[in-house]
Amino acid sequence: MKPTSYITLIVFIVFSFAIHSCAKTEITPPLQFQKQLLAGTGSYQNTQHTWQLDSTKIDGTNMLLTTPQKNYKKTYTFDGGYTDTDNNIGKWEITTLNKLKQTIIYQLTNKQDSTVFDIISINAAQMNLSLKLLNGQTAIYTFKIAN
């Protein structure tokens, strides 16, 4: 074999090895990614996320938040659990991209209620939820991550 053939063969072997030994990155599907942003990945120390109310708009008008509203937090756990600072409990699910369903048992009345929010946007720091109110107005709630 000619010296250039050896070099070509060695380069080919090294290149082939490099391609096959690279770690493959799995891409998380959008629905699963949205769930992970909301409530964590389920891995060590990432099993829940707590979101604090930051602002509210009704039909585009900013609403002044009271002190209890400014301190209001929702916690979503990776396994589908829900709690809030009003001591309500429940569960959550996202079965369709950008649709968050919360089923809550209100502690004061022991009444159960379900609400479906439109997820306008969500990332690691902020979440915007939209809800059509009974009076026909649209509320947009902005939450910031609190943990």
Fold of 29-145: Lipocalin (2.40.128)
Distance CA 132, CA 4 (A): 72
pLDDT tens sequence across 113-128: 999 999 999 999 999 9
More confident residue, 11 or 111: 111
Which of 18-27, 49-58, 127-136 is predicted with the least confidence, judged by mean pLDDT?
18-27
Query: What are 59-92's pLDDT values in tens digits?
Result: 999 999 999 999 999 999 999 999 999 999 999 9
Distance CA(92)–CA(39), nearest Å, equals: 10
